[in-house]
Structure 1
Amino acid sequence: MQLRCGLEPKTLAALTVVLVVAAVLAAQHFWSGRPQPVNAPETVREEVAATGSTREPGPSPGAPPSAAESPAKRVVIDVSGKVRSPGVHRLPAGSRVTDALRAAGGVKPGADLTGLNRARVLVDGEQVVVGGPVPPGQVAPGVGAAGQGVGGAGPPGAPVSLSTATVEQLDTLPGVGPVLAQHIIDYRTEHGGYRSVDELREVNGIGERRFADIEPRVRP
């Protein structure tokens, strides 16, 4: 090459060095440009992992609410009298008297349910009393309920039972209206019934004169 191109030895040596350097750079360029697998950044993987482990799937559109979101409404009823399991019972809202009797274990044998409206819807906080033994000359009381129940009524002129009478029955007494009748029933509920007629004196709104008018018309 020196003879053909007429190059000096120094020039030929420099040219050789340049060619070698160019070849090395070219090889390095092609090697660094080859395809390589790329991993996702660590921050992205951590975010995906955290999101996938803590997020819970939400309810699908149109799905009914869970029981925790919409708890069913209930009514609390006090069932007493001639039932197998008297006491306080919790029933679903909209339950009826027959459901309360069933929750109390059913009516005891011999209980007279004449006049009982077992289809009546229950009200929260009321007392359902299943009548006991019937005095001579009177029909069996049915179910009384703090201002809501329908109890058995005696014949005309018969004393009204303070333990089972309803607001409507107490309203027939002299000097007693719906408000005072409710006070009489509230006292009965708080004290578990009337043991004597004299307990009427403790009811708010009943003075001596009114008690004297009511006493001959009622019984415990």
Structure 2
Amino acid sequence: MAQVRARGARRLAGRYGILGRPAVAVALVALLVVGVGALAWVAAGQRGLVVERVDEVAEEPAGATVESEEPAEPEPTLVVYVDGAVAAPGVYELSGAPRVNDALVAAGGLSEGADVSSLNLAAALRDGEKVHVPVEGEAAPVADATGSADGVAESAVAAPVNLNTASAEELQELPGVGEATARAIVEDRAAHGPFTAPEDLMRVSGIGEKKYAKLEGRICV
């Protein structure tokens, strides 16, 4: 009796496909669903990582400042007037740290007969300065109260006169010093000894503060 029931059950299973090809199809569908779900889970995880990394790059730390390049400062310039024995006398604007020679070049160079023996071509220029180039045989300019020569860059003025070694004739080359004053300086030097400072010149009779102001910068000891 039991054997008959078993055979009947197998017949039913075979008839309705419980153990046949329909069962295999169901198993394959189940595996496919599981595989698709796994792939979807992995893809979702990767998308999350990409979004997180993009957010990290896009965010800037709090308080961060963007450095901007500062504009370069314009190069300083100065204006000088060049006249005398040059090709093109006039007012010129020079940049940087120009020298007397740069002013002469800007004026087109020297003209025929120019005499630069009294000029210091390497001297630095100042804004508003005048540079005069004398011609051969032209008298040397006379220094004013500031110690600079009229029409010539201050650096081109002759070397100061030493009060302790200059002769009476050399002292007379100073502005405002005539024969009598030069003789008084020599006599004072012989009587009281050498001068220890240029200001000591005011101990000489006839030389006060006003006359000394004209000589300051032109004398030394």
Per the normalisation by structure 1, the TM-score is: 0.41
Structure with the higher helix share, 1 or 2: 2
The structure having more radius of gyration, on CA atoms, is 2
Q: Which has the higher contact order (CA 8 A, sep 6+)?
A: 2
Per the normalisation by structure 2, the TM-score is: 0.41
